C-alpha cells in the first residue's frame, strides 16, 4: 500500500496524543501503511481572551483542519467529539469513533479534595456553559470564572493561584497521564457530560472510499451507537454554543439509555429528561428526548439565549 495518510491535528498536547493514538491504531491494522501528522494552529487555540461562544463556537477548533481535508491537503482529522458541532461541512463525515474513555468531569484543586469542600465564594475556573450551569445550580455561592486554553495552560493558571479549583474532562487528564491531578471525579447524575465527551472521532471526506474502508475497522460500535443518540439530541435542539446542553448515553445489552439536559447558564433553570429504547433506534431516541425537553420549555430557554447571545 503506497499511500501516505496525512492526519490534520491541532497542536495541543491532548490533540497530538489523540492523533498519535489513531496513527498507532492504523499502524497495528495496516503495518505497510505510512501515516504522518500535520499539526495545525486553529483560531479556537489562538484566541484565548474571549469565550468560545463570543468568537463563533467550538467549531473554530475544526475549521482549519476541515479546510485542509476539503482542499486535498490532508486525508483525515482526529477530534474530541465534544468539540465537533452537530452539523459538518458538505462532503465530510465522521468515519469512525474509538472506544470511549471515562466521560465524567473532574474537579482539580491544590487545596481542596471535593466540590463540597470548596469554601463559600471559591473561584471555580471553567469556560464551559454546561459545567457553569450545573455548578451554579449546585453551588450558587461559587464564583465561576473563565478558564480557556489547553489542559496544561489551565493547570498552570490554577497552580499560579488564579483559581481555587478548575473543572476538566477526566478523559483528557487520563490520556495525558495527569489523572492524579483530579481530586474528585463527578458522577453523571451530579454533572451530566458534554455530548460525545470521552470519545475520539475520525473525520474524513465521504468520497474517499479507500480511506473509509480502512477506517471502518477502527470503529467501536458501542461508542458509535451512544454518540448517535447524543448528537441527535443536540442536533434536534439546534443548540448553539450559547446554550448549556448535555447528554450521555449508555448501552446495556440491546437497550440504550439516554439522559439529556438543557439549562440557563446561571443554573436558575435546568430541564432534565431520560429515555430508553432499542440500540437500533439511537437517533430516534435522541430526537424523542429532545422533543420531550422542548415540551418542558427547552425551546424557550434556547430562544432566549440566542437573543441575548
Which residues are the active-site residues?
Answer: 83
Q: What HEC string does the chain produce?
A: CCCEEEEEEECCHHHHHHHHHHHHHHHHHCCCCEEEEEEECCHHHHCCCCCHHHHCCHHHHCHHHHHHHHCCCCCEEEEEHHHCCCCCCCCEEEEEECCCCCCCEEEEECCCCCCCCCCCCCEEECCCHHHHHHHHHHCCCCEEECCCCCHHHHHHHHHCCCCCEEEEEHHHHHHCCCHHHCCEECCCCCCCCCCCCCCEEEEEECCCHHHHHHHHCCCCHHHHHHHHHHHHHHHHHCCCCCCCEEEEEEEECCEEEEEEEEECCCCCCEEEEEEEEEHHHHHHHHHHHHHHHHHHCHHHHHHHHHHHC
Phi, psi of 130, deg, nearest 5: -65, -50
Q: How far apart are CA 301 and CA 304, in angstroms?
A: 5
Q: Measured on CA atoms in the order 59, 64, 69, 70, is the torsion positive or negative?
A: positive
Amino acid at each position: 500500500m503506497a499511500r501516505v495518510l496525512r492526519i490534520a491535528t491541532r497542536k495541543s498536547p491532548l490533540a497530538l496524543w489523540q492523533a498519535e493514538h489513531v496513527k498507532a491504531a492504523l499502524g497495528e491494522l495496516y503495518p505497510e501503511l505510512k501515516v504522518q501528522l500535520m499539526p495545525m494552529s486553529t483560531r479556537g487555540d489562538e484566541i484565548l481572551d474571549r469565550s468560545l461562544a463570543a468568537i463563533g463556537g467550538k467549531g473554530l477548533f475544526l475549521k482549519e483542519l476541515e479546510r485542509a481535508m476539503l482542499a486535498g491537503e490532508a486525508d483525515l482529522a482526529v477530534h474530541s467529539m465534544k468539540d465537533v458541532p452537530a452539523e459538518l461541512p458538505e462532503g465530510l463525515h465522521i468515519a469512525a469513533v474509538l472506544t470511549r474513555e471515562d466521560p465524567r468531569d473532574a474537579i482539580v484543586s491544590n487545596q481542596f479534595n471535593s466540590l463540597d469542600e470548596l469554601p463559600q465564594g471559591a473561584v471555580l475556573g471553567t469556560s464551559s456553559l454546561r459545567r457553569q450551569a450545573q455548578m451554579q445550580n449546585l453551588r450558587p455561592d461559587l464564583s465561576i470564572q473563565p478558564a480557556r486554553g489547553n489542559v496544561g495552560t489551565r493547570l498552570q493558571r490554577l497552580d499560579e493561584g488564579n483559581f481555587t479549583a478548575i473543572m476538566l474532562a477526566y478523559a483528557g487528564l487520563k490520556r495525558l497521564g495527569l489523572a492524579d491531578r483530579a481530586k474528585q471525579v463527578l458522577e453523571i447524575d451530579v454533572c451530566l457530560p458534554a455530548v460525545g465527551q470521552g470519545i475520539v472521532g475520525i473525520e474524513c471526506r465521504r468520497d474517499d472510499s479507500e480511506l473509509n474502508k480502512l477506517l471502518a475497522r477502527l470503529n467501536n460500535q458501542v461508542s458509535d451507537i451512544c454518540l448517535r443518540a447524543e448528537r441527535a439530541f443536540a442536533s434536534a435542539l439546534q443548540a448553539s454554543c450559547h446554550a448549556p446542553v448535555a447528554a450521555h448515553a449508555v448501552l446495556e445489552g440491546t437497550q440504550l439509555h439516554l439522559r439529556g439536559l438543557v439549562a440557563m447558564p446561571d443554573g436558575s433553570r435546568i430541564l432534565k429528561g431520560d429515555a430508553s429504547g432499542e440500540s437500533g433506534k439511537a437517533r430516534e431516541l435522541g430526537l424523542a428526548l429532545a422533543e420531550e425537553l422542548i415540551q418542558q420549555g427547552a425551546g424557550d430557554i434556547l430562544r432566549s439565549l440566542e437573543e441575548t447571545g
